[in-house]
Amino acid sequence: MKISSLKHARLLLVVLVLSAGAARMTPAVGGETSNDANSNSIGGQTIAPVVDPTLSLNAPETSVLKSAKPADSGQRVAKAAEESQVAAVALPVAIATAEPVMPVMPLVMSPVAVEDELWIISTRRLGYPARHCTPQLSVRKHDGQCWQQASIEEFLAGAGPDRPTVILVHGNRIESNEVYGLGASFFQTLRQTDKPRPAVRQVIWSWPSDQTRGVIRDNRVKAERAHAEAYYLGWLLGQMPSAAPVSLIGYSFGARSVLGALHMTAGGCLAGHTLPGVSAAPLRARVVLMAAASHCGWLAPHAPYGKALQNTDQLLVFYNTSDSALKFYKFIDHSHPEAMGRVGVGSWNCQGDQSVKVQQWNVANSIGTSHAFNDYRCCYDIMRRVRQSAFWAPGE
């Protein structure tokens, strides 16, 4: 009797396995066969998975086999066969109902469109600038296959009125081996549009932002370093032809450097430094700030970045009143300031004609409490506005 039950249970198990395999190999609409257990498409049209609230993705697949053992071996095999049927049905549903992960754009082998350029300009080997120094910037250009060493003269020679130069200044705690992936994925997202756009020169500004010991100390060190980056970036902007459109995108402490650079190109003094031979010709710059780690009141006329808007065609500010990291920005110095990336730009900062240049959005509903750069990059509405500004487009 036990042998008969054992054979019956094994036969039942084989039938169940074959049935489950046949169900997964069911031809899709159009005659094509899908071999993907996670596929939720019919005829190329995506459908929402069926959600069973009683299933727990934290429970292991074989947890049902850990119940009390039956009295005899025949019952044990029959019980295993019965439970395997439950597992065969429940497992594909559990996979399909997993919470969706925010899409991150893959880094393709060639991150540069044919008509575009991709550059990295690095200050990682530079210390703090001496008075009126000419910085020895490290410049590399991507040729579609690999990085090639280049010179600052080559970079400046390619600037023209019909090709915007878009410079991305990253935030804190980005190591040198992470810069390329971060910048290339951002620009890949930025280029994704079916609207006409100009050819662009994409520039990743790489600065020494490796983490130092102590959270408060790390932030204070990077806040001070941002002023050095403002000098170096301001020097570069001062070498650009006045007719060449420039777009500056600053994230977190990178936003601090961008504002400082614009202030210095307008003749301003920052941390005791001024730029040598500042051109009287105005700079054509559009600026995007995301989660800016800068004082919210520093655009006021006599504040540290009081001249930043003079050379700015448009300032686009994305701030987040729920940003959990910028909540602690008040510890950056003893004045306990509020971060621009958390409260935005106050109306008292911009007076007269300067106020019409500023546009700002509270993105708390889209970003939540996050301070992550990728959350901004993966938000469609944010990137649509960034694209419109960075490409100097009238609208999308």
Q: What is the mean pLDDT of residues 138-163?
A: 94
Angle at the Cα of 354 from the Cα atoms of 353 and 356, rounded to 5 degrees: 75
For the chain, the residue count is: 396
Q: Which of 113-117, 206-210, 228-232, 283-287 has the lowest mean pLDDT?
A: 113-117
CA Rg, the chain, in Å? 28
Q: What is the pLDDT of residues 379-389, one digit of tens each?
A: 999 999 999 99
- Do 171 and 307 share a domain, yes or no? yes
Residue-averaged pLDDT of the chain:
77
Confidence at 200, pLDDT banded by 50, 70, 90: very high
- Do 201 and 283 share a domain, yes or no? yes
- Do 160 and 294 share a domain, yes or no? yes
Q: What is the DSSP letter of 328?
A: G
- Do 268 and 354 share a domain, yes or no? yes
Residue 160 pLDDT greater than 80, yes or no: yes
Confidence at 7, pLDDT banded by 50, 70, 90: low
Confidence at 277, pLDDT banded by 50, 70, 90: confident
Do residues 357 and 313 touch, judged by C-beta distance below 8 A?
Answer: yes
Q: What is the mean pLDDT of residues 42-67?
A: 32
- Tokens for 10? 């094994």
Q: Which of 81-85, 134-138, 145-149, 344-348 has the lowest mean pLDDT?
A: 81-85
- pLDDT at position 4 is 53
- Tokens for 132? 């009126």
Structural domain contains residue 55: yes
Helices of type H across the chain: 2-24, 73-96, 152-157, 176-191, 215-239, 253-265, 340-343, 364-367, 373-377, 380-390
Structural domain contains residue 102: no
- Tokens for 369? 């409490």
**How far apart are the two ends of the chain, measured CA to CA in Å?**
76
Q: What is the mean pLDDT of residues 209-214?
A: 93
- Do 167 and 297 share a domain, yes or no? yes
Structural domain contains residue 108: no
Confidence at 254, pLDDT banded by 50, 70, 90: very high
Residue 42 pLDDT greater than 50, yes or no: no
Angle at the Cα of 158 from the Cα atoms of 152 and 163, rounded to 5 degrees: 130
- pLDDT at position 306 is 92
- pLDDT at position 27 is 38
Measured between alpha carbons, how far is 377 from 324 in angstroms, rounded to an integer?
Answer: 18
Structure-model confidence comparison of residues 34 and 327, the more confident one: 327
Select from 96, 126, 161 the last residue of a domain.
96
Structure-model confidence comparison of residues 282 and 47, the more confident one: 282
Structural domain contains residue 343: yes
Do residues 258 and 231 touch, judged by C-beta distance below 8 A?
Answer: no
Confidence at 284, pLDDT banded by 50, 70, 90: confident
- pLDDT at position 8 is 55
Select from 96, 126, 157 the last residue of a domain.
96
Measured between alpha carbons, how far is 86 from 247 in angstroms, rounded to an integer?
Answer: 57
Q: How many percent of the chain have pLDDT more than 70?
A: 68
- Do 167 and 210 share a domain, yes or no? yes
- Tokens for 33? 């066969």
- Do 282 and 357 share a domain, yes or no? yes
Structural domain contains residue 101: no
CA distances from 139 to 60, 119, 175, 236 (A): 51, 7, 17, 12
Q: What is the mean pLDDT of residues 204-222?
A: 95
Q: Which of 15-19, 94-98, 213-217, 347-351 has the lowest mean pLDDT?
A: 94-98
Confidence at 356, pLDDT banded by 50, 70, 90: confident
- Do 317 and 354 share a domain, yes or no? yes
Select from 62, 96, 130 the last residue of a domain.
96
- Do 294 and 363 share a domain, yes or no? yes
- Do 8 and 149 share a domain, yes or no? no
- If one counts the domains in the chain, the total is 2
- pLDDT at position 348 is 67
- Do 219 and 286 share a domain, yes or no? yes
Highest mean pLDDT among 80-94, 164-178, 272-286 belongs to 164-178
Residue 38 pLDDT greater than 50, yes or no: no
- pLDDT at position 13 is 54
Percent of the chain as helix, strand, coil, to the nearest 5? 40, 15, 45
Do residues 143 and 118 touch, judged by C-beta distance below 8 A?
Answer: no
Confidence at 309, pLDDT banded by 50, 70, 90: very high
Structural domain contains residue 363: yes
Assign residue 197 the CATH number of its domain: 3.40.50
Highest mean pLDDT among 7-11, 52-56, 128-132, 312-316 belongs to 312-316
- Do 144 and 55 share a domain, yes or no? no
- pLDDT at position 273 is 93
Q: How many percent of the chain have pLDDT more than 90?
A: 59
Do residues 219 and 172 touch, judged by C-beta distance below 8 A?
Answer: yes
Q: What is the DSSP letter of 220?
A: H
Angle at the Cα of 178 from the Cα atoms of 203 and 101, rounded to 5 degrees: 105
Structural domain contains residue 112: no
Q: What is the pLDDT of residues 88-123, one digit of tens each?
A: 333 222 223 233 333 333 333 345 555 899 999 999
The range of the structural domain enclosing residue 357 comes to 117-390
Please enumerate in sequence order all residues whose Cβ is within 8 A of that of 271, keeping only pairs 6 or more positions apart, or say none.
227, 228
Residue 180 pLDDT greater than 50, yes or no: yes
User: What is the reported pTM?
Assistant: 0.72
Structural domain contains residue 25: yes
Residue 266 pLDDT greater than 70, yes or no: yes
- pLDDT at position 49 is 33
